[in-house]
């Protein structure tokens, strides 16, 4: 994929998001699809109650339009493209149902954890059998070493764990204006470059479409946010990010590229574990972005630090892949 095509993909996705957002936000507002806020959360977040949510639909439509249009035009629409769109749409639909129930019942709880898990597992297994249509390598490379592990048929279990885990990790991270939009756009750009290094133009096209669409969405999602992506967007992004790491055979490199999402998830696990075992909390609140807020950091400072962290680790990962 040429530099010109890459720029075209990013630009088209960005422009479509920018066009759709001013159309979609008033519709979401009229339908009263407003965000509910956790009562135990930072008090500064209470003013965000009622901000339109389910905005993930905006960049999902942009990504689909860009990937399909430019994929067909450049003749790089493949089975891997279908798999990425399946996972992206499937996890997005789960999030859409979750957001919808929250809006209907006017509370901050949607689908049950079990309901979401069943849906996520089903989509992950379907994706596994789709990628096995072509010859598929079931080994997992250990980053920065020459070692690898062949999981064989157990790869399906790993894939389920990976997709479910990272979709939920991105979902946990989506608690501040622009945090996930910015961090995920960096992560997808990194995997787009890795796909280009691997000469996987089909995967790169999708990754850069996500990057462009999120940058367009970020214009409306940055502080003070005019719209939230909701579970509709965060679950779709997390599932697709994990799927791209699998298709580029950079599975464990996702732990570095997605370090912000990993840290956010670990903070929740540690917080819950510590409270259950010791009846003491490690952080003032989890996920950890709320801990920094309650420690006196402004929302913008937390987001900027997390974006910077995501950018630094993404550069390290891409350089490692390029030089490896």
Q: What pLDDT sits at residue 68?
A: 97
Tell me what the mean pLDDT of segment 32-55 comes to.
Answer: 68
Q: What pLDDT sits at residue 207?
A: 98
Q: Does 209 score more than 60 pLDDT?
A: yes
Contact in structure between 241 and 211 (CB atoms under 8 Å): no
Distance, CA of 241 to CA of 255 (rounded, Å): 11
pLDDT digits (tens, 9 = 90+) for 109-168: 678 889 999 999 999 999 999 998 888 899 999 999 999 999 999 999 999 999 999 999
Grade residue 37 by pLDDT with cuts at 50, 70 and 90: low
Distance, CA of 223 to CA of 19 (rounded, Å): 20
pLDDT digits (tens, 9 = 90+) for 47-87: 666 788 899 999 999 999 999 999 999 999 999 999 999 99
Neighbours of 166 (CB within 10 A): 26
Q: Does 266 score more than 70 pLDDT?
A: yes
Q: Does 107 score more than 70 pLDDT?
A: no
What angle do helix axes 155-173 and 259-278 make, rounded to 10 degrees? 90
pTM of the model: 0.94
Distance, CA of 257 to CA of 312 (rounded, Å): 9
Grade residue 231 by pLDDT with cuts at 50, 70 and 90: very high
Grade residue 42 by pLDDT with cuts at 50, 70 and 90: low
Q: What pLDDT sits at residue 41?
A: 57
The DSSP annotation for 18-84 comes to HHHHHHHHHHHHHTT-BPP--TTS-GGGGGGTT-B--THHHHHHHHHHHHHHHHHHTT---HHHHHH
Q: What's CA 190's distance to the chain center, in Å? A: 13
Long-range contacts of 129-136 (CB under 8 A, 24+ apart): 130/79, 130/82, 130/83, 130/86, 131/79, 131/80, 131/83, 131/246, 131/247, 133/79, 134/79
Distance, CA of 322 to CA of 194 (rounded, Å): 8
Distance, CA of 52 to CA of 57 (rounded, Å): 12
> Rounded to whole angstroms, what are the CA distances from 145 to 141, 149, 245, 252, 253?
8, 12, 17, 12, 12
């Amino acid at each position: 994929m040429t530099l010109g095509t890459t720029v075209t993909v990013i630009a088209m996705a960005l422009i479509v998001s920018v066009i759709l957002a001013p159309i979609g936000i008033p519709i979401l507002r009229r339908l009263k699809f407003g965000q509910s806020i956790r009562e135990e959360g930072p008090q500064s977040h209470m003013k965000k109650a009622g901000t339109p949510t389910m905005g993930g639909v905006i960049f999902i439509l942009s990504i689909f339009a860009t990937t399909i249009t430019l994929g067909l035009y450049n003749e790089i629409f493949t089975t891997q493209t279908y798999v990425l769109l399946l996972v992206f749409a499937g996890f997005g639909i789960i999030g859409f149902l979750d957001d919808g129930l929250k809006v209907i019942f006017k509370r901050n709880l949607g689908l049950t954890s079990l309901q979401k898990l069943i849906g996520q597992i089903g989509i992950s297994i379907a994706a596994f059998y789709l990628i096995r249509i072509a010859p598929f390598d079931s080994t997992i490379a250990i980053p920065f070493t020459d070692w690898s592990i062949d999981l064989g048929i157990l790869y399906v279990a790993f894939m389920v764990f990976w997709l479910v885990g990272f979709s939920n990790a991105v979902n946990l991270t989506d608690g501040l204006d622009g945090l996930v939009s910015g961090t995920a756009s960096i992560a997808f750009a990194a995997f787009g470059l890795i796909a280009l290094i691997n000469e996987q133009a089909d995967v790169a096209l999708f990754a850069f479409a996500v990057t462009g669409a999120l940058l367009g969405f970020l214009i409306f999602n940055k502080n003070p946010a005019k719209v939230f992506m909701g579970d509709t967007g965060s679950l779709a992004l997390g599932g697709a990010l994990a799927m791209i790491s699998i298709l580029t055979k950079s599975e464990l490199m996702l732990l570095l590229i997605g370090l912000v999402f990993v840290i956010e998830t670990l903070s929740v696990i540690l917080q819950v574990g510590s409270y259950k075992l010791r009846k003491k909390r490690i952080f003032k609140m989890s996920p950890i972005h709320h801990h920094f807020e309650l420690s006196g950091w402004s929302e913008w400072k937390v987001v900027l630090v997390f974006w910077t962290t995501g950018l630094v680790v993404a550069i390290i990962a891409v350089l490692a892949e390029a030089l490896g």
